[in-house]
Amino acid sequence: MKITIVCAGKIKERYLTAGIEEFLKRLRPYAQVEIREIHEEKMPENPSPAEKKQVLAKEGERLLHQVPEGSYLFVLDVYGKELSSEALAENLRQLALGGKSSITFLIGGAFGLSEAVRKAADLRLSFSKMTFTHQMVRLLLVEQIYRTFKINRGEKYHW
């Protein structure tokens, strides 16, 4: 399976980078994972609703441009559907059984997502009703992807 993670912004915090790299290393036997980053758009100080919409649209267009053609698109969205780890694993298992070998997870920037990005999603996924930084979500995402492979293979993950 080929998994692409498309995200806005770079990770600067070493502890997050180390965690992400650890889970990417653990994922190598299960899937090919690629992270594609775009730079975050600059938001004006105290933007008007129109300015915010324009910035999100520009960033969203660049994010969507990074999604491989034909890939099943999960968009991480605070307003998306909450799934358990087991439900996410089952979702990925069903996609694989249905012949989907390319999966993309998209993480927006600090200011959220454009409507075009939300509409492009095959599934909008929320990790929680809590708010996390988009950098932290990247670490949580790679851990959950790893967990789904362990669950689907019946391998022990959580003691």
Could you report the per-residue pLDDT of 96-136, keeping only the tens digit for each? 999 999 999 999 998 899 999 999 999 999 999 888 888 99
Whole-number average pLDDT of the chain: 95
CATH number at residue 112: 3.40.1280.10
Q: What is the mean pLDDT of residues 56-71?
A: 97
Is 93 inside a domain boundary?
Answer: yes
Is 157 inside a domain boundary?
Answer: no
Instruction: Categorize the per-residue pLDDT at 157 as very low, low, confident or very high, splitting at 50, 70 and 90.
Output: confident
Position 159 scores a pLDDT of 55
Instruction: Categorize the per-residue pLDDT at 156 as very low, low, confident or very high, splitting at 50, 70 and 90.
Output: confident
**Domain residue limits at 120:** 2-152
Is 158 inside a domain boundary?
Answer: no
**Domain count along the chain:** 1
pLDDT tens, residue by residue, 78-89? 999 999 999 999
Q: Please tell me the distance from the alpha carbon of residue 159 to that of residue 150, in angstroms, as a whole number.
A: 12
Q: Tell me the one-letter amino acid at 158.
A: H
Q: Cβ-count burial of 115 within 10 angstroms (0-12 exposed, 13-18 middle, 19+ buried)?
A: exposed
Is 73 inside a domain boundary?
Answer: yes
Q: Please tell me the distance from the alpha carbon of residue 143 to that of residue 39, in angstroms, as a whole number.
A: 23
Q: Which residue has the tokens 């789904």?
A: 148
The pTM for the full model equals 0.94
DSSP state of 153: T
